């Protein structure tokens, strides 16, 4: 009798662990994903070293038709800060703001964005330097002047908030709907650091970098950005 009880208890523990793992994998795959800001293309809204939670559920999964059938597809709206697969290298993730929707005509004139001929109000935008003005209207610099272009169906026009320092749709074209992974939700941790690229670094540099984070965790954590909602 005692042996049967022990076996039953062990089985319950095992089943609980299996269920917990399945739930964790489900949340990681379909609902939320952690993402770190490695560049300054979204400054001053998002800073290098910000660690985000990305809501994958709101825009639905993109991997397969089965996932689309299981989970709903939300509507992507202008102004959403989205994480997506970089069209030129789909194995990399990018984060930008959705500016142009399918069917929109997008144009940049003297660094001002126009949607269907109407100037767009963008309080989040940051410039490294002001527009060079009317004397440079013929400039080929897409930071100054771009378009007009019309966004195709099932595509979007994405731009970084740091307009003078962002590789976005002005350079690599339109963003396919199927490449969008989710909407940036909240900053759960922010660490003051220079640009880090542990994937490209050697193993020794990676260990050194992580050691530096642990050593300066309290002094370099941006406590005021913790749980900051992304808009």
Closest-CA residue to 62 (of 154, 152, 151, 153): 154
Neighbours of 167 (CB within 10 A): 14
141-193 pLDDT tens trace:
899 999 999 999 999 999 999 999 999 999 999 999 999 999 999 999 999 87
Domain of 216, CATH number, reads: 2.10.109.10
Active site positions, annotated: 41, 96
Whether residue 190 is contained in a domain is answered as: yes
Euclidean distance between CA atoms 196 and 212, whole angstroms? 12
Percent of the chain clearing pLDDT 70 (strictly above): 68
Dihedral sign, Cα of residue 67, residue 68, residue 72, residue 76: positive
Domain that holds residue 55: 31-101+154-229
CA dist 210 and 202 (Å) reads: 12
Residue 54 contacts residue 182 (beta carbons within 8 Å): yes
**pLDDT band, very low/low/confident/very high, at 206 (cuts 50, 70, 90):** very low
Asked if the bond preceding 44 is cis, omega within 30° of 0, the reply is yes
Higher pLDDT, 10 or 220: 220
In-domain check, residue 114:
no
Phi, psi of 19 (to 5 degrees): -65, -40
**How many Cβ atoms sit within 10 Å of the Cβ of residue 141?**
12
Within a domain: 159: yes
Q: Is the peptide bond before 177 cis (omega within 30 degrees of 0)?
A: no
Count of structural domains, the chain: 1
CA distance 30 to 67: 8
Q: Does residue 193 form part of some domain?
A: yes
Alpha helices by DSSP H, the chain: 2-26, 65-70, 169-172, 203-215, 217-220
At 28-66, the pLDDT tens digits run: 555 678 899 999 999 999 999 999 999 887 775 445 555
Q: Position of tokens 């992304």?
A: 230
Q: Is residue 213 part of a domain?
A: yes
SS3 assignment, position 42: coil
Token pair recorded at residue 50 = 């910000």
- In this structure, the strands spanning 180-190 and 81-86 are antiparallel
Q: Which residue did the predictor score with more confidence, 182 or 137?
A: 182
3-state secondary structure at position 216? coil
Largest CA distance in the chain: 92
Residue 188 lies in a domain: yes
Find, among 123, 128, 120, the residue nearest to 104 by Cα: 120
Is residue 7 a part of any domain in this protein? no
Which stretch of 7-16, 18-27, 73-82, 124-133 has the lowest confidence by average pLDDT? Answer: 18-27
| Confidence at residue 32, expressed as pLDDT on a 0 to 100 scale | 78
Would you say residue 197 has pLDDT above 90? no
Whether 51 is in a domain gets the answer yes
pLDDT band at 201 (very low <50, low <70, confident <90, very high): very low
């Amino acid at each position: 009798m005692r042996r049967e009880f022990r076996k039953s208890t062990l089985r319950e523990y095992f089943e609980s662990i299996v269920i917990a793992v399945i739930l964790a994998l489900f949340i990681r795959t379909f609902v939320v994903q952690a993402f770190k800001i490695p560049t300054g293309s979204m400054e001053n809204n998002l800073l290098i070293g910000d660690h985000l939670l990305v809501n994958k559920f709101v825009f639905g999964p993109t991997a397969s038709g089965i996932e689309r059938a299981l989970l709903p597809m939300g509507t992507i709206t202008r102004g959403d800060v989205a994480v997506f697969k970089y069209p030129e290298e789909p194995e990399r993730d990018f984060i930008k703001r959705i500016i142009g929707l399918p069917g929109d005509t997008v144009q940049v004139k003297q660094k001002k964005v126009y949607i269907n001929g109407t100037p767009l109000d963008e309080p989040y935008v940051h410039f490294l330097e002001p527009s060079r003005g009317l004397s440079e209207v013929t400039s080929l610099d897409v930071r100054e002047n771009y378009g007009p272009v019309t966004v195709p169906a099932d595509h979007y026009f994405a731009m970084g908030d740091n307009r003078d320092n962002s590789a976005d749709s002005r350079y690599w074209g339109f963003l396919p709907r199927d490449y969008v992974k989710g909407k940036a939700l909240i900053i759960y941790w922010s660490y003051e650091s220079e640009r880090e690229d542990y994937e490209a670094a050697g193993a020794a540099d990676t260990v050194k970098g992580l050691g530096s984070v642990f050593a300066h965790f309290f002094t370099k954590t941006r406590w005021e950005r913790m749980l900051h909602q992304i808009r």
